[in-house]
Amino acid sequence: NLLKPLLFAVTVCDGTKNFLSTMGNSEIMYNLMKTRYNNCDIVIGNLEITMMGHTRDFNFLESIKEVTGYILFAINEFSRLPLHHLRIIRGSTLYEDQYALAVMVNYQRDGEHGLQELGLTHLTEILRGGVKIIRNKYLSYAPQVNWLDIVKDGTAQIVIEDNGPEKPCHKACGDVPCWGPGNDTCQILTKTVCAPQCSGRCFGRNPSECCHVECAGGCTGPKDTDCFVKSE
């Protein structure tokens, strides 16, 4: 089968461990990130985006499907995090030893720019660690997301504080939470909607629609080959 090798053709790139420190000026940092993450499928380590102005274009992050460490998004001014292909954060390393996803203080101090949407519309699994989303002045949808459906560890910290005023989801979402205002930003639920017979994720609400035990982040069918991502 000539197509088979293409199924495993993924691009891996190394993450960073800078926390909130700066390594040079903003232009240098931006260009380094663009080189590092362009066309990257899997980030080995942490994805850290900090101190970027509102004019920066981060569409080069769109290809990322998996981060093995944590995601830190802090002190930025642009409006949307374009990670809509990201399915899983493994949390092999954690920010502040607790959080797999940390989104903090993303707004312009003396202006009107800032984070408005978490563009994480396909994120369905955080294997280890919790979530910290605080002090994002214009972020209105993060509190509505059902983080318990995403976070695997039931004891992990989920801190959502001092963000923007909540706004309604698109009517297409019905009673499902959302990541943003569009009809394509409804949250994909893969755990809290499952039948009791399912021990993990599911692809439907019926007892026969459970994912295989090796799946993380959901699946398209019951077999291990139907997993979006393997848990190991």
Q: What is the pLDDT of residues 57-73, one digit of tens each?
A: 999 999 999 999 999 99
Q: What class has domain 11-185?
A: alpha beta
pLDDT band at 199 (very low <50, low <70, confident <90, very high): confident
**Element (H or E) spanning 27, and its range?**
helix 26-37
For the domain made up of 190-232, give the CATH fold.
Answer: 2.10.220
Between 32 and 1, name the one with better pLDDT: 32
Domain boundaries, the chain: 11-185, 190-232
Q: What is the pTM of this model?
A: 0.93
Q: What is the pLDDT of residues 101-119, one digit of tens each?
A: 999 999 998 889 999 999 8
Both tokens of residue 115? 């984070």
Helices (H), 117-174: 147-150
**Rounded CA separation 191/230 (Å):** 16
Residue 5, pLDDT > 60, answer: no
Q: What is the pLDDT of residues 141-155, one digit of tens each?
A: 887 899 999 999 989
**Rounded CA separation 86/133 (Å):** 18
Please indicate whether the domains covering 11-185 and 190-232 agree at the CATH topology level.
Answer: no
- Quick one: pLDDT at residue 193? 94
Write down the residue that tokens 């809509």 correspond to. Answer: 84
